[in-house]
Amino acid sequence: MIHSIFTIAAKDFVSELRGKEMVLSMLVFSLMVAVVFNFALPPGSDAIEEAAPGILWMIFIFASVLGMNRTFVYEVDKGCLQGLMLAPVDRVVIYISKLLVNFSFIFLVELMVLPLFSIFFKLDFATGIWPLLFVLFINTLGLAIVGTLFSAISVNTKTREVMLPILQFPVTVPIIMSAVEATSAVLQGQEWSVIWGWSKIGIVFDVVFFVVAFHTFEFVIEE
């Protein structure tokens, strides 16, 4: 199982390195939104510290949807999903490998955007970088878990570009809440117990939805 997961994921990494469709679109979108908010909220204004976690996660969530929309589109358009489904591997292997790829690319874009966001808004992320990375990890994983499952559903609909955010946003409300509040706590230099308290919501979300996705993906992908 592990061998097949990494085989599919490695293929997607190589394919993305050549096509650069997913990472580039997420990165450009993130930078554009950051620039727009930089004009709306000039650096040094009082509103920035309060709004920054919300803006940051809004960027990450919309960018992740943009990227995850591509997850199965490429497979379906070229008929390759059938090729994967014909291989003697469990359907859930396809899900986990796609989850791994989605998570890696979203997290990579977040790591690239974070320093730029810090420069644009004159925010100090360096002080609480480890708690911040922890918050990013937990909540990005949640977005990828749900987004990978829903992108498999939306890819077979006519309005697939619109369908993913419509399906995903209502479900990810707990993640958005956990992510924004925990990031806010990091930026305000609050104690670890506060950050951990909010992050627990993200962790529970990740576990619950991974179990749901694990058991439902086969039905989602088959017909």
Partner 1 sequence: MTPNVERCAAVSTHRLSKTFGAQYALRNVDLEVQAGEFVAIFGPNGAGKTTLIRILSTLTKATSGEVVIEGHPLNKDSGKIRCKIGVIGHQTFLYENLTAEENLKFYARLYRVKKANDRITQLLRDVGLETRRKDQVRTFSRGMQQRLSIARSLLHDPSLLLLDEPYTGLDQHASKMLTSWLTRLRERRQTTLMVTHDLERGVDLADRIAILVRGKVVFNDLRANVDRSAFRQVYYDLVEKHNRQR
Q: How far is the CB of 10 from partner 1 (least distance, A)?
A: 8
**Residue 84 binding partner 1, by CB under 8 A:** yes
How far from the centroid of its chain's Cα atoms is residue 60's Cα?
Answer: 7
Stretch that binds partner 1, among 51-59, 88-96, 109-117, 162-170 (CB under 8 A): 88-96
**Residue 46 binding partner 1, by CB under 8 A:** no
Instruction: Indicate the residue among 17 and 126 with the shorter CB distance to partner 1.
Output: 17
Residue type, position 1, single letter: M
Instruction: Indicate the residue among 22 and 106 with the shorter CB distance to partner 1.
Output: 22
Stretch that binds partner 1, among 11-19, 27-35, 55-63, 202-210 (CB under 8 A): 11-19
Q: How far is the CB of 129 from partner 1 (least distance, A)?
A: 35
Stretch that binds partner 1, among 13-21, 57-65, 166-174, 184-192 (CB under 8 A): 13-21
Tokens 């990978």 label which residue?
148
- The dihedrals phi and psi of 123, each to the nearest 5 degrees, come to -110, 145
**Residue 3 binding partner 1, by CB under 8 A:** yes
Q: Which helix (H) or strand (E) holds 174?
A: helix 173-187
The answer to whether 26 and 105 are in contact (CB under 8 A) is yes
Instruction: Indicate the residue among 14 and 35 with the shorter CB distance to partner 1.
Output: 14
Mention every residue, 6+ apart, whose C-beta is less than 8 A from residue 203. Answer: 138
The answer to whether 169 and 122 are in contact (CB under 8 A) is no
Instruction: Indicate the residue among 50 and 218 with the shorter CB distance to partner 1.
Output: 218
Among 24, 87, 111, 119, which residue sits at the site for partner 1 (rule: CB under 8 A)?
87
**Residue 82 binding partner 1, by CB under 8 A:** yes
Among 39, 46, 193, 222, which residue sits at the site for partner 1 (rule: CB under 8 A)?
222
DSSP string, 61-75: HHHHHHHHTHHHHHH
Nearest residue to 33 via CA among 64, 53, 67, 56 = 56
Distance between CA atoms of residues 31 and 181, nearest Å: 23
Site for partner 1 in 152-171 (CB under 8 A): none
The answer to whether 64 and 176 are in contact (CB under 8 A) is no
**Residue 19 binding partner 1, by CB under 8 A:** yes
Nearest residue to 172 via CA among 76, 69, 57, 82 = 57
What is the contact surface with partner 1 in residues (CB under 8 A)?
Answer: 3-4, 7-8, 11, 14-15, 18-19, 78-80, 82-90, 222-223
